Every structure is written in C-alpha cells, then in structure tokens.
C-alpha cells in the first residue's frame, strides 16, 4: 500500500530526527514490534460486547467515591479486556499532555502497517491508554482518555486507518499493568485489543424497476 508506506516513511524520518532533539523519558524506551509480529498477535478472531460508556462511567464513579484508594489493592476495572487478543507498546507523550512526541511515530507507523494488512483489515480494535499511579486519580483518568484519543487520531488522520475500526478508552491508573509497582513506567503502556469483526457489507439496495418494452405492448389509438 504505497500511501501507507509513504506515510510510515514520514513517521520514521520524524522518529530519527527526534533521537537528536528530544530525549526519551527514562524507562520508556520504544518497543516497536515489526508489523509481522503485530499481525501474528492480533490475527485471532475474537468477539466482545464492550460498553465503553459504561466502563468510563464506572471508572469515574470509583474515583469519585474514593474507593480502592491504595493502588496495590485496586482490582482491574475491565478484567474482560485481558482475555482478548492484544499487543502492548510504549508511546512517549509530553509531560502531563496528550501530545505525542515524534519518536513514537515509528511505533504507531508499524501498528498502522499491520492494521492495513488484509489479515487484520476485517477487524475492529480498541486503543486503551494507562497512566502510572502518580498525582490525582481523576486527572489521570482524563489525561489517559485524551492520550488514547490522540493515538487514534494519528492512526486515522496520518496513517489513514478507517475511524470506524478504532475506538479509544483511557483507564488512567484504574487497571495497573504492574500492581506491585504502581509508579513503574510499565503502568503507562498502551494496548491495542481486538474486539470483533468490522462489518463492511453494504446495505441492500432496492431492485431497479424494469422498463416496459416499447413498440408492440403499446395500445393502438382508436379512430
């Protein structure tokens, strides 16, 4: 796919330049897998009835109620997500921001290449962002949602992945990836999760009426 490859090339160039002008946060080295590895992990048929609005509300309500204040004792808020085909990867953002640093465009480009492959094109995916336990939980939840949406925007607008195939969910620090070390960088990793088939069938169009034959079928005028 020439257009996707060209866009990925831009991402690679930006990533190379960023190595000289923007330091990567310690402990957050890029972990870009090859497109082949990503395809292998995500090319598994799965179907999940996920209610994103309900999950977002559940996370907000838990924080508002000040439940599970200790991160180490906090149960996952969406354990069903851990059972679906997925990959985890690092995206570097500006501090306390949803602005993606250029160094991460190489990683996102590899994901875009994989999602454009015929093996993955029939499926829908959920982008889930996490934040390590530091600062206020409510602000982390908001920041996490914005970061998930930012990754989705890059995939859609820069790499031309269909927006109908991607959804974004920020879980903040409500589903820690390393419960024993709540402030560890591993808790800020991003997931792409396969959540089901992407329906592409067009709605059936009504049949076009057949025109009446000309000539003999017409009645003769009376004199």
The per-residue pLDDT for 44 is 84
E strands in 41-93: 86-89
The arithmetic mean of pLDDT across residues 146-154, rounded, is 98
Residue 212 per-residue DSSP state: P
The arithmetic mean of pLDDT across residues 50-61, rounded, is 92
pLDDT above 90 (res 214): no
Q: Which residues of 180-216 are buried (b: 16+ CB within 10 A; e: fewer)?
A: eebeebebbbbbbbbbbeeeeeeeeeeeeeeeeeeee
Residue 29 per-residue DSSP state: -
The arithmetic mean of pLDDT across residues 175-193, rounded, is 92
User: For a pLDDT cut of 70, what percent of the chain falls above it?
Assistant: 74
Q: How far apart are CA 30 and CA 25, in angstroms?
A: 10
Range picked from 157-161, 177-181, 186-190, 216-220 for highest mean pLDDT: 157-161
pLDDT in tens, 96-144: 999 999 999 999 999 999 999 999 999 999 999 999 999 899 999 999 9
**H/E run at residue 190:** strand 190-197
Is residue 1 within 8 A of residue 47, CB to CB? The reply is no
Is residue 103 within 8 A of residue 30, CB to CB? The reply is yes
The per-residue pLDDT for 201 is 44
The arithmetic mean of pLDDT across residues 18-28, rounded, is 35
The arithmetic mean of pLDDT across residues 73-101, rounded, is 93
Residue 190 to residues 10, 92, 145, Cα–Cα distance (Å): 22, 10, 11
Here the tokens at position 18 are 């960023």
SS3 label, residue 169: strand
Least reliable range by pLDDT among 39-48, 57-66, 176-185 = 39-48
What residues contact residue 135 under an 8 Å CB cut-off, 6+ apart?
Answer: none
The per-residue pLDDT for 8 is 53
The per-residue pLDDT for 198 is 79
Q: Which of 80, 88, 86, 94 is nearest to 130 (CA)?
A: 88
């Amino acid at each position: 796919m020439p257009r996707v490859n060209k866009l990925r090339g831009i991402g690679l160039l930006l990533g190379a330049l960023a190595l000289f002008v923007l330091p990567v946060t310690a402990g957050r080295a890029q972990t870009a897998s090859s497109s082949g590895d990503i395809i292998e992990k995500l090319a598994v048929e799965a179907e999940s009835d996920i209610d994103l609005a309900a999950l977002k509300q559940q996370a907000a309500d838990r924080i508002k109620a000040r439940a599970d204040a200790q991160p180490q004792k906090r149960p996952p808020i969406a354990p069903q997500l851990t059972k679906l085909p997925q990959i985890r990867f690092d995206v570097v953002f500006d501090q306390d921001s949803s602005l993606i640093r250029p160094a991460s465009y190489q990683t996102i480009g590899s994901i875009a290449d994989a999602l454009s492959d015929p093996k993955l094109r029939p499926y829908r995916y959920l982008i889930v962002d996490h934040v390590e336990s530091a600062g206020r939980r409510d602000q982390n939840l908001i920041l996490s949602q914005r970061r998930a949406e930012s990754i989705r925007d890059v995939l859609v607008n820069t790499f031309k992945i269909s927006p109908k195939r991607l959804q974004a969910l920020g879980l903040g620090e409500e589903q820690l990836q390393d419960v024993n070390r709540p402030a560890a960088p591993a808790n800020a990793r991003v997931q792409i999760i396969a959540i089901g088939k992407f329906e592409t069938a067009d709605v059936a169009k009504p049949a076009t009426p057949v025109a009446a034959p000309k000539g003999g079928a017409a009645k003769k005028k009376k004199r």
